[in-house]
Structure 1
């Protein structure tokens, strides 16, 4: 076995030393230190053992070893036994062992058994402890709930955040801050600030805090990713800081309508074009909109019944046209049911039917209301305009072209 260098014990730090006597007082063992402190599950820890003798005679064939009991083990490339050899009176040696800590090691002091022997004595054993604790104390967000789950522009919601201690050690001085400082975050706290505190959490424990927030009236419907700053400490006083994120959904229910823009159809048993306006009167933009004029006994469709409109922004509209022939027995008031299919700002699909209304008249009503006369007057005005233009053209022709 590999020989080790003899050294004076005072050359090693004694802050963690624990002296044990074995072999009828022939040897003293000192647990000098281990690194890292604390040891971490699933990783290695280096352990230094001090061996000294106060015997008046030289001790021969001195050998020491660690007993690899759970949660400690020795890799195949390492040796659990270290040979010192002969130790003169009042001499000392330092041995180093590389131990693997089991990934499931329990937090706290874990026993490590040591043993030594000499040429004249059998093995003598002693125990020491190594403190094991996960190096990273993990505080996680167990759950985020908003009530209501989605908030409209100008609306309020309560965001409840459940924090869970997933570490094997207790956590304390837990501080949470919901960071709403960004100019791109149209959300403000209501009734209280953006910071919360939790005194402490034992391993596996959860605790909830909540924030009351309001969306700006001008907020655009979408999911907003809000930073949540966390600060806390473990039971050894080591501090941690990290940033998680919570999502707040601002949505607006689309509100669509269809109204009649224009038509030249004034009596039954005639055909023509009806112009309709699809209006977005909600706070959410819509996209991929199609408009489908549904069949009716009051009219027959003379054009395709479905029109692709595309996107319509909030407080905007788009015009669509259909050619129809009104039935002879159509009622005076005719509903034009239009099925709208579209996707909102949250990519949710909607299908709804909105109706525009058009009116047809009896011959008596047409005469009394001068409906056709108005149409005729329009034709007369157009005719006069054309005649004036022709006269001006003829006059210019005679004056300039003919003279040449």
Structure 2
């Protein structure tokens, strides 16, 4: 009986010891896993956002890291350090560790970082590590975060080509507004391709398509984003509005079409040539600009010397002291290098010995752009009119003059004979 009693006592004692040790273990583990703290402060670290999302291969990505004090006291000296891993590198290693001092309970501080994504990075999810401490000399705590790289969970092998460039109007004039339409085509002919024993789809992704300006042309349309995918042999037309500067010179302006695809390998850039010409409507007199007496006709050859088709072409002559019929000659559409002959009836309402200065107003449209040109270097010659009532007087005078001349000749002969 005594032995049994001693065994029971020892068993109870052992159980109590085990309970005691278990409680101590729980307390110890709670102390061990507690987050970084300082003077009662407990820190919570998160990446609030990063841009662009997803991060783009071969480009920079900006990160915003939030550190919040969730404890009951102030975190006196908070420091965080970003520890990038491949494919990420910091723009400067000096920026890895940042300290913004103390953070009060319930308050947050924001830290900004810039990382470069390696050009040979693979699309997918990659990790970075951020470590932090609440006061100088305290133990560092670490936390891993995921950053998505690339635009898709699958690896596409579709390749885009620039199929066509269309400008409306075809050739621009300084000051014109126009539209540039670009056709992109997926060159793949089947829906999948096998490379090194692995199957890939042949979709072509369009994450961003931007038309960049030149010195003489401004692009007024923003870039297109997240346009989806093009299947094999599919095409898409993308249009941009542009405006030519007033002082642009004759020649070709070069815009850049920049495509961001599914990865750095499938990004592309194309040269987009845009023609600019200052040439327009030319007006040439096809007969001498001369009016006999009270009026007559004048005639012009009108030529389109521009490389685009003009519409709504009209010519209006103006001169002081002359009335023109029609007052304005409407030609309409003129193709490049087309020549059109027009004629005006003229009535002289005011006499001028120096002729009349002729002003020719040429109006036309290049696309939706209205143009007006004035030519001021022409003079209409007006011949003087002999009054009808003075014609008999002139004839009588001429006859009398003839009689005088003949009489003088006869008289001169008689004197010589004498």
Fold match by TM threshold 0.5? no
| TM-score normalised by structure 2 residue count | 0.34
| TM-score normalised by structure 1 residue count | 0.35
